Structure 1
């Protein structure tokens, strides 16, 4: 005889457990599978990079950690954090006047705020911000990779980003890690349809670096992609994101223009004094010609090789038919590197936040891991060794701008 546990009509039923209200999304969010492993690998590689810098400093009788917080641009950021803008200039050997207005305000503002809140000096605060932002950026990179391609590719993407030759600059007092964090999370917000977050983070990215407008352009392009087929009939948040995304970059440009007495051209004159201008590749062509004719230190051929590899990777990324926001963000950064003047040795650093370039390689590495795990580990180990050693070399021994 088969009986049913269903109550008879009219029968009393015991009250069930009270229904729980759904928690807000921000509370219910859980990290995707594998995120902790990817972040642990990232932290291990970059910690090894820091240790290598300290070891080389010790071997060459230099202060152990000073160049982590006082290398090139770091000194300008620390001076701005301590004294504000308009207090420091540098006269170049050719008579050019370089001023602190060339540097964007978010990082020095965070340095000053952190040093005011925590019992640390400004140099330590600068490193703390850079290291924290690097981990936050790595998590954003993982989320994008996981959303689009799954766990294995996301992990490979984070690992490859950690072992780039110039990845040491994610852990010194520079703005690359802060900018990469804001860019990654803004792009992730676009992919998830969180438009107000995307616009707000793009605004902050525009306050972090001169290349910050690449994030704004990506958000605007993605918003236009949403608006075009609907003849502009989309959620107000999409319009809001497109409007607020460029305000950070524009705000600093106009502030510099106001301070220099040339509202629209003052900022570009300041950047020109640093040798940073759009020359449509003329400077890069001259550099390549001189390098082929006369040769150069290790850092210059490596920089050229990195730029050429990035061009190939961008072509592969386009063939991957990646989301528009990723393509636009990466394309703008690549275009600025090719068409912009300035020290060629710094160009790999400018490409460091362009993590989508690594998607094709990450997919290939993930495929290798599934088929031949030992080979994938060997590749990862070799790239880690190169990154750690080269990072120590360019940070401690090279005297050209990073």
Structure 2
């Protein structure tokens, strides 16, 4: 059986974008299918797709930050406090900017930012996969990211698409040795979501490995040093600002997250949540499904290691997975939190790239239909918390 060896020949970013055209067309088609199914479902259910995409759940928190700034909070009956300081600022900043230069509301601006960012994310995922495994694998990787069961979030006024775009292009810059660009994009990712730490770690580990390999050189690469310094600035600036504003110092942001019931407990709460499912037959089926899902995520990561994925990708996806699965609270959010871990899809993309185009298209088309129906069902039900 033939294998797809990593393809490490350099290619300019502009050329990579031109090569990404088929992948972007596939991505746009899948997302259009998802929105069409959502619209039909909404018409039957009497609900507005626009409201589901732009004015529910976290979208409301982001638009409130864009409109009024930080400082708003809700106290629940149990005494816990939900503060909008939990939401990182880059998405609401962009919502405010787009709204200021256009007639769009903050909610609609959030949709525009998310939709545009999702295209950049798809292009970045393609660039990474194409660089490592070739063009066919790149197209398949983008298609797989688009057809994820929770892929509808890519079309919502949420920060996942923006974060994934910044992370993917930062990782691509690392693979190309463009350290300053990688650091700037990582800083932007750190202003978007707390998991921006995964991008920073990927850059730092890649830099450390390069320094070790070139330890005989007397001078370090100035561009690499600058990229390493720039990478954490976005997240550090916001976390320190929150600490100063709340009076909590370095742990101020963690206190804000604790008010939401979030924290890192090495997966204990999630494991207990799964265990509690086995108290009934329907719950047991759900528990088995969760176990299978976690096992699949771990399996894909292991396969990526065996296939020799570049170290920055492994570090990044490993930390994203660890933070998603080992965090307490909001267990229904975990599939959404895993969505930026696109390197997990590369083993599947490599496998699909080996198939005939007709077969891979048939597989992806079937999954796209299922994902579109599930996305509409999900948003008309519990939806992403």
Indicate the residue corresponding to 1:253 in structure 2: 239
Q: Give distance in 2, aligned partners of 1:283 and 1:133.
A: 33
Structure 1: state its 5+ residue gaps. 1-24
Indicate the residue corresponding to 1:229 in structure 2: 213
Indicate the residue corresponding to 2:39 in structure 1: 54
Q: Is 1:194 equivalent to 2:181 in the alignment?
A: no
Indicate the residue corresponding to 2:308 in structure 1: 321
SS in 1 for 2:182: helix
Measured after TM superposition, the shift of residue 173 of structure 1 is: 0.6
Residue by residue over 1:50-83, the C-alpha shift from the partner in whole angstroms, topping out at 9 and shown as x without a partner, is 1211211111111241111012100000000000
Question: Are the counterparts in 2 of residues 182 and 201 from structure 1 also a CA contact under 8 Å?
Answer: yes
SS in 1 for 2:250: coil
Measured after TM superposition, the shift of residue 307 of structure 1 is: 3.1
Aligned length: 373
SS in 2 for 1:215: helix
Change (3 A) 1:97 1:319: same
Q: Work out which of the residue numbers 378, 382, 385 in structure 2 matches 1:399.
A: 382
Q: Is 1:164 equivalent to 2:182 in the alignment?
A: no
Q: Is 1:145 equivalent to 2:129 in the alignment?
A: yes
Deviates more, 1:310-319 or 1:198-207: 310-319
Structure 2: state its 5+ residue gaps. 1-9
Q: Is 1:306 equivalent to 2:293 in the alignment?
A: yes
SS in 2 for 1:98: strand
Change (3 A) 1:111 1:215: same
Q: Give distance in 1, aligned partners of 2:291 and 2:58.
A: 22
Tell me the TM-score normalised to structure 1 length: 0.88
Measured after TM superposition, the shift of residue 31 of structure 1 is: 3.7
Q: Give distance in 1, aligned partners of 2:285 and 2:80.
A: 28
Question: What pairs up with 1:357-368 in 2 under 5 angstroms?
Answer: 357-368=344-355
Measured after TM superposition, the shift of residue 32 of structure 1 is: 6.0
RMSD of the alignment, in Å? Answer: 2.1
Q: Give distance in 1, aligned partners of 2:313 and 2:375.
A: 27
Deviates more, 1:58-67 or 1:161-170: 58-67
Measured after TM superposition, the shift of residue 362 of structure 1 is: 0.4
Measured after TM superposition, the shift of residue 230 of structure 1 is: 2.4
Indicate the residue corresponding to 2:3 in structure 1: none
Q: Give distance in 2, aligned partners of 1:385 and 1:136.
A: 23
Q: Give distance in 2, aligned partners of 1:303 and 1:90.
A: 31
SS in 2 for 1:43: helix
Residue by residue over 1:224-250, the C-alpha shift from the partner in whole angstroms, topping out at 9 and shown as x without a partner, is 111122237331011111111011111
Measured after TM superposition, the shift of residue 401 of structure 1 is: 3.9
Measured after TM superposition, the shift of residue 95 of structure 1 is: 1.7
Change (3 A) 1:291 1:166: same
Measured after TM superposition, the shift of residue 27 of structure 1 is: 9.6
Indicate the residue corresponding to 1:115 in structure 2: 99
Indicate the residue corresponding to 1:7 in structure 2: none
Change (3 A) 1:118 1:333: same
Indicate the residue corresponding to 1:80 in structure 2: 65
SS in 1 for 2:148: coil
Change (3 A) 1:299 1:132: farther
Q: Give distance in 1, aligned partners of 2:182 and 2:13.
A: 20
Q: Work out which of the residue numbers 21, 25, 29 in structure 2 matches 1:36.
A: 21
Change (3 A) 1:116 1:298: farther
Task: Spell out structure 1 runs of 4+ moving beyond 6 A.
Answer: 25-28, 297-301
Q: Work out which of the residue numbers 74, 84, 88 in structure 2 matches 1:90.
A: 74
